[in-house]
Amino acid sequence: MQIETIAVRGGHQEDPAFGAVAPSIHLSTTFARDSQGELVGPHTYTRSGNPNRSALEETVAALEGGDRGLAFASGMAAIHAVLQTLSPGDHVLAPDDIYHGSRDLIMDMARWGLQASFADLSNPEAFRAALQPNTRMIFVETPSNPMLQITDIAWVVRAAGEVGALVAVDNTWATPVLQRPLELGADLALHSSTKYFGGHSDVMGGMVVCRQEGSTAERLASLQHGAGAVPGPFDSWLIRRGLMTLPVRVRAQTDSAMHLAVFLHRHPAVARVHYPGLPGHPGYAVAREQMAGFGGMLSFELAGGETAAAAVLGKLQLFSRATSLGGVESLVEHRYKVEGPHGRTPKNLLRISVGLENPADLMEDLENALEP
Ligand code: PLP
């Protein structure tokens, strides 16, 4: 089945009681057994599994082309579980430019004996130099947050094979509509479902999809059940509903982002635009190869520095000034401020999540805000 069909039909079960077309929400925390003590259906207890969560997990696994999908309560809970598949003394290599929450979590896990280093994974030389004999996981985020650096997933997979490391790709920004890391050989695809999957800025969630069944998938399932950071039935239902429109939303957002990137690139008040769809972007060639579109996220730096960034932010009227991304409404944020004093983002940078408003209206808003 094609991705649009999976998004609508994946994990779908006919309702035998009423013939309801829309999936029902099963709030029950526990599931009955018959007089012989056998379970009536496939589920026992909602922390270990629930009909709404199963539908979500099956659909996302199919969208990513993996054997098993595991849903978590947030993107960070998913990332935490992935890191917990490692053992004390193992080394994880992650990109310099990465969601700051992931960076903080990886560093915090040093307390439990995890060794970590960060390198420019978009630069093969720097990447190779950072590999260690005990590297057991390469954590990739491409496009990266917030600088939209591009990492060549197939190249990382080959290098990881040489040291026997797993490759985990945070695919939140691209979504399986634009990029399928497991088909490029990665072992795990991760998501903050809070973003494009939910798509409406009203639900938190996370996902891990395993390319293959095996010990890592088993360990993740055991962490999901044992640590219990799972989404509830209603959250699972909301995310599953969001997935139905994922392909159309992401493609429309990608088209609009390309228009905005070109407009900003030509604007004299803008010093740099970070968008992999622009031919001058250092990751353009790799992105063209491994992505089916360049995505709905972009960031740009103001020629007038931090003061100009603050002024533009203040003048925008249509964009909501808020963190997060992937919803139907366009968002803008001063990333340095959001990341706090330890952030690495340039102070003159604004990050945009392009929504589903008409791109001409978004452009007009930006044009007005960029006026001196
Ligand atoms: N991964 C990426 C690339 C993100 O941008 C974010 C949040 O912004 C996360 C993970 C964390 O997801 P959540 O906020 O759902 O825990």
Q: Is the CB of 192 under 6 A from ligand 1?
A: yes
Give me 269's structure tokens.
Answer: 């008040």
Dihedral of the CA atoms 275, 277, 282, 288 (nearest 10)?
140
Question: Considering the chain, what percentage of its residues have pLDDT values greater than 70?
Answer: 100
CA separation, residue 358 to residues 6, 270, 329, 371 (Å) = 27, 22, 11, 21
d(CA 118, CA 127): 9
* Predicted local confidence at residue 200, as pLDDT: 98
* Predicted local confidence at residue 13, as pLDDT: 79
Ligand 1 center from residue 255 Cα (angstroms): 23
Residue 206 near residue 216, CB atoms below 8 Å: no
C-alpha neighbours within 13 Å on the C-beta side of residue 94 = 25
- Evaluate if residue 340 carries a pLDDT over 90: no
* 196 classed as catalytic: no
Per annotation, catalytic residue among 96, 99, 240, 365:
99
Residue reference for tokens 């960070």: 76
Residue nearest to atom 5 of ligand 1 (CA): 99
Binning pLDDT at 50, 70 and 90, where does residue 59 land? very high
Contacts of 263 (CB under 8 A, 6+ apart): 363, 366, 367
The stretches of the chain forming alpha helices (DSSP H) are 3-9, 51-64, 75-83, 100-108, 124-130, 153-163, 175-178, 215-227, 233-244, 246-266, 284-290, 305-315, 335-339, 359-370
Find the mean pLDDT for residues 328-352. Answer: 92
Ligand 1 center from residue 325 Cα (angstroms): 9
Ligand 1 center from residue 292 Cα (angstroms): 22
Task: For a ligand 1 pocket test, name from 99, 239, 335 the mutation site with the most ligand atoms within 8 angstroms of its C-beta.
Answer: 99
* 53 classed as catalytic: no
* Predicted local confidence at residue 142, as pLDDT: 98
* 351 classed as catalytic: no
Q: Is the CB of 204 under 6 A from ligand 1?
A: yes
Q: Is the CB of 124 under 6 A from ligand 1?
A: no
Binning pLDDT at 50, 70 and 90, where does residue 231 land? very high
Ligand 1 center from residue 193 Cα (angstroms): 8
Q: Is the CB of 142 under 6 A from ligand 1?
A: no
- According to DSSP, the residues that pair with 331 across neighbouring strands are 320, 353
Q: What are phi and psi of 345, to 5 degrees?
A: -75, 140
Ligand 1 center from residue 236 Cα (angstroms): 17
Binning pLDDT at 50, 70 and 90, where does residue 47 land? very high
Q: Which ligand 1 atom lies nearest to the CA of residue 195?
A: 15
* Chain segment 358-371, per-residue pLDDT in tens: 999 999 999 999 99
Give me 155's structure tokens.
Answer: 């190249």
Find the mean pLDDT for residues 8-36. Answer: 93
Q: What are phi and psi of 207, to 5 degrees?
A: -140, 145
Residues 321, 240, 242: CA angle, nearest 5 degrees: 35
* Predicted local confidence at residue 343, as pLDDT: 80
Binning pLDDT at 50, 70 and 90, where does residue 155 land? very high
* Predicted local confidence at residue 261, as pLDDT: 98
* Predicted local confidence at residue 14, as pLDDT: 81
d(CA 77, CA 297): 23
Ligand 1 center from residue 192 Cα (angstroms): 5
* Predicted local confidence at residue 347, as pLDDT: 95
* 136 classed as catalytic: no
Binning pLDDT at 50, 70 and 90, where does residue 16 land? confident
* Mean pLDDT over the full length of the chain: 97
Give me 112's structure tokens.
Answer: 């439990």
* Predicted local confidence at residue 341, as pLDDT: 76
Nearest to 298 by CA among 183, 201, 173: 173
* Predicted local confidence at residue 12, as pLDDT: 80
- According to DSSP, the residues that pair with 208 across neighbouring strands are 70, 190
Binning pLDDT at 50, 70 and 90, where does residue 110 land? very high
* Chain segment 66-108, per-residue pLDDT in tens: 999 999 999 999 999 999 999 999 999 999 999 999 999 999 9
- Evaluate if residue 257 carries a pLDDT over 90: yes
Task: For a ligand 1 pocket test, name from 192, 193, 324 the mutation site with the most ligand atoms within 8 angstroms of its C-beta.
Answer: 192
DSSP state of 91: E
Per annotation, catalytic residue among 47, 219, 251, 288:
47
- For 324: left if phi > 0, alpha if psi spans -120 to 50, otherwise beta; the answer is left
Q: What is the pTM of this model?
A: 0.97
